[in-house]
């Protein structure tokens, strides 16, 4: 009887370990730092995501990476000092999102991880989630050009003062970010949008 139990336990352990080994990255909770490579028409941007301090936001972003939804996506918006005449508080960012026409594949909105909780700040190269109201961010993200403290919790860019969910930073390719910011635009809309050719985890 004891040998049968041991054999059964061995089979269950083998099946469990096989299942864990086969589990896709998207199903595993991120921890520490995760790097993502965005290949764009203007060059590569490497992001270092801080899963330790903004775990839910990073998990949400990696879902779109692993599902291939940022591949064939676009950077569609540039915000410069000259194209926001109606805003008393000026910022500088570029904004991107998933492939056009894939909106139906978005996840439900992710809860806002405020910078007052995460300790992250909107500095040069910070990557953060675009939103309207709190807890409304889905797949659109932005990258800061220069330090943008008005996007932190308590900042005045959004009247609600809740700030935006910073979740990582650019570690390579700020020259590409600046090239995208300076690309032709009509108002804040890049014309044409800058295509994201692929978005993948590094390594």
pLDDT digits (tens, 9 = 90+) for 69-85: 999 999 999 999 999 99
Is the four-CA dihedral 123, 202, 140, 191 of positive or negative sign?
A: positive
pLDDT above 80 (res 5) = no
| Domains of the chain, start order | 30-201 (2.40.100.10)
- Residue with the bigger pLDDT between 54 and 100: it is 54
The answer on pLDDT for 14 being more than 70 is: no
30 pLDDT band (50/70/90 cuts)?
low
> Does the pLDDT of residue 28 top 90, yes or no?
no
Distance CA 174, CA 91 (A): 17
Structural contact between residues 145 and 94, judged by C-beta atoms closer than 8 angstroms: yes
- Phi-psi region at 135: left, alpha or beta (left = phi > 0; alpha = psi -120 to 50): left
pLDDT above 70 as % of the chain: 85
- Grouping H, G, I as helix, E, B as strand and the rest as coil, residue 77 is strand
Tell whether the torsion through CA atoms of 118, 121, 122 and 124 is positive or negative. negative
Q: Where are the beta strands (DSSP E) in the chain?
A: 33-40, 43-50, 74-79, 93-97, 126-129, 141-144, 166-172, 185-186, 189-201
pLDDT reading at 24 higher than 60? no
The answer on pLDDT for 37 being more than 60 is: yes
Gap between the Cα atoms of 112 and 107, Å rounded:
14
pLDDT value at 2 more than 70: no
**Residue 137: DSSP 8-state:** B
Strand-pair partners of 171: none
- Buried b / exposed e across 78-106, counting CB within 10 Å, b at 16+? bbbeeebeeeeeebbbbbbbbbeebeeeb
- Say how many CA atoms lie within 13 Å of 58 toward its Cβ: 25
Mean pLDDT of 172-191: 98
């Amino acid at each position: 009887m004891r040998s049968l139990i041991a054999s059964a336990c061995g089979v269950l352990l083998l099946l469990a370990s096989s299942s864990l080994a086969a589990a896709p990255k998207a199903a595993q909770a991120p921890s520490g730092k995760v790097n993502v490579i965005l290949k764009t028409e203007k060059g590569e941007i490497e992001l270092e995501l801080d899963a330790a301090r903004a775990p839910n936001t990073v998990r949400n972003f990696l879902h779109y990476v692993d599902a291939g939804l940022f591949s064939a996506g676009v950077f569609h918006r540039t915000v410069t000092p000259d194209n926001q005449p109606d805003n008393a508080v000026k910022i500088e960012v570029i904004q991107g999102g998933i492939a056009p026409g894939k909106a139906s594949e978005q996840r439900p909105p992710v809860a806002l991880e405020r910078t007052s909780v995460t300790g992250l700040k909107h500095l040069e190269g910070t990557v953060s989630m675009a939103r309207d109201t709190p807890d409304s961010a889905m797949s659109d993200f932005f990258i800061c050009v220069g330090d943008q403290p008005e996007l932190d919790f308590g900042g005045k860019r959004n009247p609600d003062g809740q700030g935006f969910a910073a979740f990582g930073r650019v570690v390579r390719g700020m020259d590409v970010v600046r090239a995208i910011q300076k690309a032709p635009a009509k108002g804040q809309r890049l014309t044409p949008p800058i295509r994201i050719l692929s978005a993948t985890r590094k390594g």
